[in-house]
Amino acid sequence: MIKNIFVISDIELGQGDLFDDFRDEHILVDFINKITGIKGKNILILNGDTFDFLKMQYQGAFTHHVTEEISLSKIDKIIETYPRIFQALSRFLKKSPNRVHFNIGNHDHDLHWPAVQKKIRDTLGEPSKISFDISYQTRDIHVEHGNQVDYLYKQDPKKPFLTHRGKTLLNLPFGYVAVSRYFIELKRLFPFEEKIYPRHQAFENFPEFRRQKQKIAFIFGIRGLFLNFLFSLGDPVASVPYFNLFKHVFQHGLELYDEKKFLQKRFRNLVKLYPDKKVYLMGHLHLIHHEISPHKDRIFIVTDTWREEYNLSVGKEKVLKPKTYAKITYDNDKLQKVDLLTFDQ
């Protein structure tokens, strides 16, 4: 039997406001409809950051103290904003024996909550054909969002929750807290510039964007790092991984935004963690990458984002990024083909 595994990442569905970067609902619906019609067993892996809980406000404010109630409120708004996508996923699942798997990324830690998972299952139907985890694996492949090999956004899968002042909260990584408390202001002030990748290119071409980033980074450095013990006294969610920060500075200096510099190291870390795999696939980096390693013929793939995002060409002309996906084909449980493709309507 033919089995196709389709992988897309970084859709970042929000609630349709300034902080929501997803614009192409019709394209995503067309993609889901297209793979629904393909013969065989089809598995769709939504490889992290499917939902942009991180950049969604709750009662008019951003918070890093996220309860199950807050996450449920946000998923309700996402479903209300993008009903056609959930309807398309529901149709995909109704075709036997299709399945949908959600990998949890750094924008959608909220998927750890059992009630949020139930809400998605109830909305899509076919609950037994929907799964959630931080990765997806077969004998040959390892698929994860990519934040688990990013010290800023690595989560503890064995401890997704913690208790603070009598409330159960998401145990969020350092990067999530830094964005929600400080750097989210860049999105409010520069909604277009924030959509340009690679990020260092945006800083080079838009001086005011760079200056504002430096200003916020300075405030974050003082309050969020050096004086964190004063401004976040007794707050376990806002703890700082100082050892990992110093290690990164020692190896890479203060560079945080040029993801291509970190790409090979992250794949090496995946190989160390999962040495028996042939294919390693992630998103997270907002770039396209396809590499076949001469060592054991390993294949490394990075799928790009499906949110509205641009590259800058000569003359600062913005060029909308294509929508990419990976397709992995099995025939009678034997790996046949691995492709990184662009979706053309």
For residue 78, the tally of other CB atoms under 10 A from its CB is 25
Provide the CATH number for the domain around residue 293.
Answer: 3.60.21.10
pTM of this prediction?
A: 0.95
Q: For residue 82, is it within any domain?
A: yes
Q: For residue 92, is it within any domain?
A: yes
SS3 label, residue 345: coil
Radius of gyration from C-alpha coordinates of the chain: 20
Q: How many residues does the chain have?
A: 345
Q: What contacts 234, CB < 8 A, 6 or more positions away?
A: none
Q: For residue 50, is it within any domain?
A: yes
Q: For residue 89, is it within any domain?
A: yes
Tens-digit pLDDT string for the chain (345 aa): 889 999 999 999 999 999 999 999 999 999 999 999 999 999 999 999 999 999 999 999 999 999 999 999 999 999 999 999 999 999 999 998 999 999 999 999 999 999 999 999 999 999 999 999 999 999 999 999 999 999 889 999 999 999 999 999 999 999 999 999 999 999 999 999 999 987 878 888 899 999 999 999 999 999 988 888 777 778 999 988 888 788 777 776 666 656 777 888 899 999 999 999 999 999 999 999 999 987 778 999 999 999 999 987 655 678 899 999 999 999 998 999 999 999 986
Residue-level pLDDT at 314: 55
Q: How many domains does the chain fold into?
A: 1
**CA distance linking residue 182 with residue 54, whole number of Å:** 12
Q: For residue 193, is it within any domain?
A: no
Full residue range of the structural domain in which residue 329 is found: 2-172+260-342
Q: For residue 297, is it within any domain?
A: yes
**CA distance linking residue 338 with residue 123, whole number of Å:** 31
Residue-level pLDDT at 243: 84
Q: For residue 248, is it within any domain?
A: no
**CA distance linking residue 6 with residue 31, whole number of Å:** 10
Residue-level pLDDT at 205: 87
Residue-level pLDDT at 280: 98
Q: For residue 217, is it within any domain?
A: no
From 182, 158, 171, 151, select the one nearest 239 (Cα to Cα): 171
Q: C-alpha distances in angstroms, 125 versus 86, 88, 93, 134? A: 10, 12, 8, 22
Q: How far is CA 16 from the centre of its chain?
A: 18
Burial string for 291-319 (b: 16+ CB within 10 Å, else e) reads eeeeeeebbbbbbbbbbebbebeeeeeee
